[in-house]
Structure 1
């Protein structure tokens, strides 16, 4: 638990640097004298850096000592955020964000493997959920705190605080976290071959497809709740906080349920999420049910994630770190597709309401993928039995 707490703090520090940018975009734009849209490219560039750079860097470093690699990655993230704080212009800031994004998913993949191998085998999803709790805290605590720091002392102070947090995490790992014993690391080519197996591809596809719907709703929560449900703008922070609290509870709940019975709870949670999204479509114009749906979507939307990550680890036991990095990229792809598809719907003549229904249909596709993945995993067992 102590090792897990250290890793959780490190994940909190790294991912706060990702989430906090949205809260300080106007400050960055004003200080650097650029349009807000150009400042928004900092978010896009960070996502692209994670999608492409994470798996590539993880593959290149596949054979390195895990603890030394974690120390280097976290130190690099700290320096990247400090460079962001000192960036003399927009070009420097954009480059620093991309470079920092390259190490983020690779570090998270390493942290997942170390945390899982420090826990009992039947607690994989629960351990992943607790580690991801650091990411939840970054969303509901780190991002608001970083935004407040930026408004009080300037956006550069926000990046400086994140950088110092990463460097503190580096020191904690150096002193308190050990590489799992008797660990054999494969080559990059060997790990890439593992990713081409059908069960692994299905598990990664589930992350990409199963999360698109809920991410589409999250991305366009503001118009869904204000233009459609009639909530005033000043109520949005409270509703977003409710979503974040629900996400935190769902993350921990999902890991526990998956470890108890993965074949039951993973498709069940996805099915409940699809039904909730469909119900939100029916009740989209009534303020109170729409607000309740936001919290429930937050719970279920994050309850499905620990099982997805555990499923990828289970399918790719010979390539745990690379599979986790690619899984993180699959999630970022889902986020990018959600933003694009949701924007097309929101800007159409129908308005944002169909987002709920489309999200429900996409999540239902995730249920089918879960069933197919479970059937694929049982095939080797049947062959072995004969």
Structure 2
């Protein structure tokens, strides 16, 4: 090989931080998303079992979801900022190890308070992991494929809803809900090991710049409007998903053995939705976000009427899951507009979605406490993407008023 070609090849390797195992890096990052996705969504399906095991009400058990979301909300920006100068591989390994610890603590919880504390601790590394992994995935991707690069990380989470969540749900039915959290802790340690073995190590490959540079991203109105879309638009999915097992029992009267299949159908919808939405976002990210919010509204309204029959319920669950593609394209939008504060912006996206994770179950539980029937959660849930669509309209109006046409893809 000529000397100049050797230098070019070496420079590309250094810039990308590659190694002989670099081709496995997307898989390693997705494995972390798989572990986190399994924990996040499986815990929602475990709400009835947790309530029975700890002798608390179902809405109280649902508060464990809110505690987890609060951990994500607080942990994501703090860890992203303080960890900006830590090497990428080291940071991701630390985060997944901490995630394993939080889920092991959840398995050992002996009461309502210890459950809430352990779920809060488990939530702390969640947002920072996805933020850092998304930056690493997009760093070598061309501009026209950055949304798909983000989706490659998020697909680990969506595959978890197809495989991880049903398997863990089945395990909880065969053994106990505690065994589900033990299995999640094992997956988390496995992903930490995979990242440690595959990801290249370089002290220069840190996540972001200075703390001051990271915080500059908070000056941009478009960033806050985009975060508001995520914080509201995704809440309806969490509202329905958290109580889906209970709805299947009390409204659809579906047998318990069908629960894992329902969660797998949700995951299939979310996976296909993520792939389709990311491809649409690479053409026009704002149009993709608006279209996904409209899909969410109609899917959640339809859920209220379709959940009464088991077969129709499964179809409704698929379309509700497809709306989950919103996560990847909002993340892509933030990376597009955040300039030098990508680390904090990516982490704040996870905080925003876990505001939705907190508000969705809270709204659903409150509606039930006030006497609404379980199937009415579809209409309650549809209010969230409707508010998200309003924020999307404000975002488009701000873009037009400031002549920010360069933000469109």
TM-score, scaled to structure 2: 0.78
Uncovered stretches (5+) of structure 2, i.e. residues with no partner: 1-22
The residue number in structure 1 matching 2:343 is 321
Q: Which runs of 5+ in 1 are unaligned?
A: none
- Whole-angstrom distance in 2 between the partners of 1:23 and 1:279: 21
Match of 2:128 among 106, 109, 115: 106
SS in 1 for 2:340: coil
**DSSP 3-state at the match of 2:282:** helix
Residue number among 18, 22, 35 corresponding to 1:13 in the alignment: 35
Q: For 1:164, which of 170, 176, 186 is the aligned residue? A: 186
TM-score (norm 1): 0.82
1:143 equivalent to 2:165? Answer: yes
1:312 is aligned to 334
Q: Name the count of aligned residue pairs.
A: 379
Residues 287 and 172 (structure 1), Cα distance of their counterparts in 2 relative to 1, 3 Å cut: closer
| Contact 1:71–1:173 (Cα < 8 Å) also in 2 | yes
* 1:302-338 Cα shifts (integer Å, max 9, x gaps): 1222211111222213222222222112111112222
Matches within 5 A, 1:149-188: 149-150=171-172, 157-178=179-200, 185-188=208-211
Deviations 1:97-139 (A, max 9, x none): 4333212221121111111113222112212222111112223
- Check whether the contact 2:163–2:264 (CA below 8 A) recurs between aligned residues: no
Deviation at 1:240, TM superposition (A): 3.6
Deviation at 1:226, TM superposition (A): 6.0
Matched, 1:248 2:271: yes
**329-338 or 91-100, which deviates more:** 91-100
Counterpart-to-counterpart distance in 2, 1:368 and 1:24: 33
User: 1:63 touches 1:188 (CA, 8 Å); kept in 2?
Assistant: no
Cα-Cα RMSD: 3.5
Structure 2 Cα separation of the partners of residues 113 and 260 of structure 1: 20
Corresponding residue for 1:269? 292
Show the counterpart of 1:201: 224
Aligned counterpart in structure 1 of residue 55 of structure 2, from 35, 38, 51: 35
The whole-number CA distance in structure 1 between the counterparts of 2:406 and 2:325 is 33
CA contact (8 A) 2:254 2:310 kept: no
Q: Deviations over 1:169-206 (max 9, x none)?
A: 22322232136977673233332231232000000000
